[in-house]
Amino acid sequence: MTTFVPACMLVTGGAGFIGSHVVTRLVKKYPASKVIVLDNLRYCSSMNNLESVLDADNFEFVLGSINSADLVAHILKTKLVDCILHFAAETHVDNSFGNSFAFTTTNILGTHVLLEAAKQCGEQIKRFIHVSTDEVYGESKDSDKFLEKSVLEPTNPYAATKASAELLVKAYHRSFNLPVIISRGNNVYGPNQYPEKVIPKFISQLMRGRRLTIHGTGETRRNLLFIDDVADAFLCLLENAMPGETVNIGGNHEYSVWEIAQKILKTFGLDSEADQHIEFVEDRKFNDTRYNIDCSKLQLLGWKQKIDFDHGLKLTVDFYLKNPNYWGSRVSNSLEAHPVILEL
């Protein structure tokens, strides 16, 4: 197997949670390669996430939107980008129930803009990694695991836009031979994640003396991957996956939301009085019970999960305790049981 080494990478959404961790790895692992981040710095991204690489000689930041066709085309052509890692997206399911048009605009149209600009560059583009989600498969009903060839049956507007974007990505591979690689990943957690997702939200609620707000009965289950393992997975895909492949990024740490709450309470030393710190609230319009995916293809490429959930959770809690104001006052709305959408 020949390892691919990029010369110049464009990372969309690189100031967000997952993107910024991948960018940090890329900048340090490939000092002779240029890493360009394109991000519009919306509510869940921050330059703080990129602090460790801002002064690196091979790093560049561009403030802008993936929906700007002229800007995207200019970056690809003038910087001689040969690799695109597309993380930019609206991702929070709760928000998609209230403002689904924003998800269509970013996740579908934004992806189409990138694909068209990449197509215009011809053979200059060697890799286009499209970051999707396990939610495109829909809800797991039994013990069977979703394979990369499984039928896509998304159940919420967010997942539907990601599935739609995938169809465009596949079409550009088949029609124009664009060297695309699609990833479909489990839930991710870790330091500097915006507190709208369950783990940083629960941690932030406890830090502010609030109850943990659990949707429905708390029986929904999620497989959880620590951010370092996920960053490793994307470097593995970049270097070893072949164009045209779809690869699941999955772990083996599956817990119910109730179990996650219990583990976080235990980390804070509050598990003996759990009932005082939990509030059950109305569930989402629809809440998939679980997502069960097979990640054997990724393992064959050389990746394996390294971080145990309890250890990863401790690292995450420690980060927020040491950085209580990392996201400033803007997190207050996100800590509500059902946040009002302020910006999309």
Reported as type and span, the H/E element at residue 127 is strand 127-133
Tokens coding 44: 């869940």
Angle at 305 between CA 36 and CA 156, to 5 degrees: 70
Read out DSSP for 185-236?
E-EEE-TT--TTSHHHHHHHHHHTT--EEEETTS--EEEEEEHHHHHHHHHH
DSSP three-state, residue 65: coil
CA distance 304 to 250: 10
Terminal Cα distance for the chain, rounded: 42
Amino acid type, 131: V
CA distance 52 to 314: 22
Identified catalytic residue from 137, 158, 172, 326: 158
Q: Spell 180-195 as b/e; 16+ CB within 10 A means b.
A: bbbbbbbbbbbbbbbb
Q: Which of 223, 339, 244, 335 is nearest to 297 (CA)?
A: 244
Identified catalytic residue from 82, 135, 196, 232: 135
Longest dimension (CA), the chain: 61
Long-range contacts of the stretch 73-79 (C-beta < 8 A, 24+): 73/117, 73/120, 75/10, 75/36, 75/38, 76/10, 76/117, 76/118, 76/120, 76/121, 76/124, 76/125, 77/120, 77/121, 79/8, 79/10, 79/34, 79/36
CA distance 248 to 296: 8
- 240 neighbors 2 (Cβ within 8 angstroms): no
Residues in the chain: 344
Q: Examine the residue annotation and report whether 259 is marked as an active-site residue of this protein.
A: no
Q: Examine the residue annotation and report whether 158 is marked as an active-site residue of this protein.
A: yes
DSSP class of residue 293 equals: B
Q: Examine the residue annotation and report whether 255 is marked as an active-site residue of this protein.
A: no
Identified catalytic residue from 39, 90, 94, 134: 134
Show which residues are catalytic: 134-135, 158
